[in-house]
Structures are given as C-alpha cells and as structure tokens.
Amino acid sequence: MAQRASAADDTAKINISIRVTPIAQLELPEGTVFELHIPSRAQGLEGSGPFTRGPAPHLDSAQVPFTVSGNARVTVSAAPGAVLDAPPEGPVGRASGTGPTGKALSDTGAELPYYLCIELPESGGRGPSSAGLGNPCGTNPGHQATSRVDTAQGPISGVVHVVPGVMWGDVASRSFDNPGIYRGEVQVTITAREE
C-alpha cells in the first residue's frame, strides 16, 4: 500500500531577520532665516521697541521652530549659517569663530553677534533665565547648540533660540549704538543613531 505524503511533512522552518535602520526627519515650518530687532536708546528709554520689561529690560531673542520625527534617538545641532555673497534682498549674516556664535547683519552692514541654543522638551525644557535678561538658554548658550531627543514615541517640537550678543545695558549705555533690524540664518541638522 502506498503512503501519501501530507502537506505537514513538507514544512520547513526559516528564520528571517528584519533590521530597521534609524530614520529621522526635520521640518522647519518657518524656515531658517531670523531677524533680531535692536531698539535705539531713545526707543528703549521711552518704553517702545522690541524689548521686554521685567526685573530688568532685555532684548528679545529670535526663534526658529522645528519638529523632529522618526524612529530613533536623534542629535539636533544648530550652527550659524554662513553667507559668502549677500543676496539681492540684503545681507543675511555670517558665521564666525569655531563655536555656535554668529554675526547677523543690518541693512547698513553693521554686525550684531549672537548665540544659539536649542530648547527641546526632553533636554530640560529650558525657559527664560531666572534673571529675566532675555536669554532662554541660561548663562552659557554657546554650549547648548546640540541636544539629543528620542523620536520613537512620536514627533517632538523644539526651538532654536537666537540670542543677541548685546544686552539692553549695552544699548542704554551707548556701548552698542547701532539700532535696527539684523538678519541672519541658522543651519539646523539632525543625525539619527542606533541604540
């Protein structure tokens, strides 16, 4: 009598390994160009102009919002944008030094130094400094232009703060006497990594 082979006898086990590489995406909904508004001494003394009164009046920082999404731990870095040739609509700024310090330019060519820092919910949720001096990055913004975040649980929004390198006291004392609108650009990059 002949035996019939059953389908169960013809099975084999196969191990399949699937590796998902880290993925990250950066969105900059408002772009990377910023403006810093520096009031004149007269504007500041009369209470007008773009600065905030508090325990001490201060110049406001500019913000460059961003959102990071993906499936990995991500390092977010911000650096001054370097512009070699001024675009037709006016100068945009230039990078300087080796750290996260740049110089924004006014329409007249005056330079305004600035610092960068990144604010992310998982990196301590930095808010305005306790001194109320317009520096959302604390006392040392230059060392906070890189931050890490885990995007595996969903998109995370953050802000690059562009902090003027002068304070209201510099304007009031006339040690910085170049009021106006200063423009620059930041470069925001992300690097995804495996755990």
SS (H, E, C) 42-98: HHHHCCCCCEECCCCCEECCEEEEEEEEECCEEEEEEEECCCCCCCCCCCCCEEECC
- Percent over 70 (pLDDT), the chain: 66
Highest mean pLDDT among 35-39, 130-134, 174-178: 35-39
Least confident of 4-18, 19-33, 178-192: 4-18
Residue type, 6: S
**Tokens of residue 66, six digits:** 């961003």
Contacts of residue 157, defined as CB under 8 A and 6 or more positions apart, other chains included, come to 65, 66, 67, 121
pLDDT at site 149: 85
Higher-confidence position of 184 and 194: 184
Name which residue leads in pLDDT, 3 or 69: 69
Task: Evaluate if residue 136 carries a pLDDT over 60.
Answer: no
pLDDT score at 28: 97
Mean pLDDT, rounded, of the chain: 75
Write the pLDDT tens digit of every residue in 42-97: 776 766 555 555 545 567 889 999 999 999 999 998 888 865 444 455 545 655 55
Region 7-15: what's the mean pLDDT? 78
For residue 111, pLDDT beyond 60:
yes
As a whole number, mean pLDDT of residues 25-47 equals: 85
- Can you tell me the distance from the alpha carbon of 153 to that of 133, in angstroms, rounded to the nearest whole number? 34
Q: What is the pLDDT of residue 141?
A: 46
Residue 154 per-residue DSSP state: S
